[in-house]
Amino acid sequence: MTDFKDNIRDDEIRVIGEIKANRVSPLTSPSPRGCGWRIVGIIVLILLVAGIVLAYLFGFNKDNKNDSPNSDETASYFEPQTTPAPKAEPHTIVPLGFYPDSPTTAYTQIIDTTINDIPLRIHIPHGAIPSLQVGRLNENDSSIILVAQAADIRRDNRKIVGAFVLQGKPLAWGKAKTGFCAIIHDTITVGIAENSPLFEKATETDGYFFRQYPLVDNGRLVENEPKNKSIRRSLCDRNGEIMVIETLSAESFHDFAQALEDLDITNSIYLVGSHSYGWSTDAQGHRHTFGRKTYRMPVNTSYILWRKP
């Protein structure tokens, strides 16, 4: 046996044993970048399959929703089917008065009714001509079929409150009250406005005009400052039907206006109430008075009245 140790020189290195070199080709070695793309591809494939499955499930449930026995939209075999609510019919205002085709004479139709526990008396003139008057009434004038006090009088100077036109002549000016009545060519207009062209038109056409508290404006009640209770009267336009309405009991402005609104009044202004005197004459010629007769009235006391033609 040869002693290799003894044969090694001082300047020589000898390797003892077998060395196996495992060289790996760069073409066959696993690349970290290649492994990453493979993982991403697998994840994308999983997500795609999951999306297809979910889309199928949701689509199936939607198509078969009405087939589900627990569906709220499923019509019951034994229960009656619900029908859509009918459309609300337009509100029709039927005239309160009776209008014959050919009235033989002018008269006032009187109707008693109750609205919101408030007793009302309605005076509807037929076949008469409206106008205004200032000064004392002639109770012997049988041509008057309806009359009521119109504008207010100031307590301090006894003058008419608000604008007033008598047969085209202005007797007073002012806008303290926004309600108005205009009579142009025998036609009454009841409205609410601070400035109305009907004032000037009344002066140009020998018409009439006065102002009062507004009560109803286009079917809606109007609030007023006075809060006391008294017998109330009003001039009303109910879908073109003109009438005077009074309470038979003391009422507030608000409750009276609410009753007029519930009666389908279109526009309404106040007339002097309380004990103010007036009357109406029915078809049989009977006179029905209201208020209290007094002979000491201010000279500027005004009335709205209807006369036989």
pLDDT in tens, the chain (309 residues): 445 445 555 555 554 554 444 444 444 444 555 566 677 778 877 877 777 877 666 654 544 444 444 444 455 555 566 666 666 667 788 888 887 766 678 999 999 999 999 999 999 999 999 999 999 999 999 999 999 999 999 988 889 999 999 999 999 998 889 999 999 999 999 999 999 999 999 999 999 999 999 999 999 999 988 789 999 999 999 999 999 999 999 999 999 999 999 999 999 999 999 999 999 999 999 999 999 988 888 999 999 999 999
Query: Is 30 within the bounds of a domain?
Result: no
> How many other CB atoms are there within 10 angstroms of residue 116's CB atom?
13
Q: Specify whether the CB–CB gap between 266 and 237 falls below 8 A.
A: yes
**Residues whose CB is less than 8 angstroms from the CB of residue 192 and which lie 6 or more positions away in sequence, other chains included:** 178, 179, 180, 214, 217, 222, 267, 269
Instruction: List, in sequence order, every beta strand (DSSP E) within 230-308.
Output: 233-238, 241-247, 267-271, 278-281, 287-290, 302-307
Residues constituting the chain: 309
- Is residue 1 assigned to a domain? no
Determine, yes or no, domain membership for 91.
Answer: no
Tally of structural domains, the chain = 1
Task: Answer whether residue 38 is part of any domain.
Answer: no
> Which residue range(s) make up the domain with 113?
107-307
17 domain-assigned: no
Q: Which residues pair with 114 in a beta bridge?
A: 119
